[in-house]
Structure formats: structure tokens, C-alpha cells
Amino acid sequence: MDSTEVRTARSSVAIAFVAVFIATDSLAASVTLAWDPGATGTAGYIVHSGEAMGAYSNHNDVGAVTTVRVEGLLEGATYYFAVTAYDLARLENSYSNEVDATPPYTAPAVDFSASPTSGIAPTTVAFSNATTGQVTSWAWSFGDGGTSSGQSPTHVYSTPGDYWVTLKATGPGGTVSKTFESPIKITAGSTTTKPTRRGRGPKRR
């Protein structure tokens, strides 16, 4: 809730982090904030946050608790927090000390599929990339010496064999590799030899 109440000059509130950032999905994080209780007569607290020092665009009335989890923060972005206390008349004190935090990037969650997973040489296999998270580069190894840096490449298997495919994803949160759950199975085409027909001799009269 946005605070529009007049602030009084009661003592400020000390605020400090008590938990590490917790990733909630591929692009968002959360942080837990805690602060010391206000003076006698404090009815509740408002957490102020923003993306610039001293400039708070969000104002959240959290009630009488002294610990709160702030969610929906973008990985790699810097946020600034402060707390004010208010009394039963909804009069607020001055801002607490300000703290800043930058949620770290999480490592990519690598996943992909292949179609088809078997065939007769030569077979073209299409790889569909389902990796989540921040990724800056891809490195595919197709198991037959072939490689690719594309996000969702195709590859032609020309020689019979079983080929294990690995995808390595690199991002600001680290590098993660995954090998496909089963090999790509390529077989040789069947070869049939037509029987040689013997020529007939001249007809006898």
C-alpha cells in the first residue's frame, strides 16, 4: 500500500537481512528482511523499496511483523530498502537505515528433446531446446564429432551407431551440462542384391 501519512520524529528502525536470496523461478528471486522492533506504541511497519538510492516507488504495509519476504525481484537487478514504523494514529517515523541488495543469477536449468531418436543413415535429427534461465552461449556435442553453438540446431547422422548428445549452457549464473537420456540410434539401410540372370543359348532347331 502507498503511504501518504505525515511522518513524526520518533526514533528510526534498524533493518538488516536475515536470509539469503531464494530463487522462485527462472527470472525472479526473493529476499527476507528483518528489523528491530520500534518504540512502545508502534502499531505496524511499512517496507519501502525502489531501484535507486533513497527513491522508493513501492510502499508495503506489512502490519506488526518485524520480518517480511519480498518476492518478484529480478535476478541481477539492485534494489534498495528502508522501513518506517507507525502508531495507532497512522503517524510514521523517519526512514530506517537503507540496505541494498542484488539477487544473484541462478544457473541455467538445461533440458532438450530430439526428434527422431532413431533412423536409417543418413538421418536428420532436430533438437528442441527447453532450457530455462539466463543463457549467453550454447555448446552442443552430437556424439559423432559434430558440434553446434545454435540454440535449437539440427544434425545429420551419416554413419550407423549409437550417439550420446550433450548440451552445455553458459550464463551469468554458471555453466550446466546435460546428456540426453538415451542415445540417438542410427542403423544402416538394408542392402539387397539382385540375382544374376544367366543368358540363354541359341535355340536349337
In a domain, 20, yes or no: yes
DSSP output for 14-44: -EEE-S--EEEETTEEEEEEEE---STTEEE
In a domain, 22, yes or no: yes
Q: How many domains does the chain have?
A: 2
Q: Say if residue 61 is in the same domain as residue 126.
A: no
Q: Say if residue 69 is in the same domain as residue 143.
A: no
Q: Say if residue 96 is in the same domain as residue 116.
A: no
The CATH number covering residue 137 comes to: 2.60.40.10
Q: Are strands 79-87 and 42-50 parallel, antiparallel or unpaired?
A: antiparallel
Q: Which tens digit of pLDDT belongs to each residue from 50-82?
A: 999 999 999 999 999 998 989 889 888 999 999
Q: Say if residue 89 is in the same domain as residue 137.
A: no
pLDDT of residue 26 exceeding 60: no
Q: Which tens digit of pLDDT belongs to each residue from 134-151?
A: 999 999 999 999 999 999
Read off the pTM: 0.68
Q: Say if residue 26 is in the same domain as residue 97.
A: yes
For residue 46, what are the domain limits?
A: 15-101
Mean pLDDT of 27-39: 79
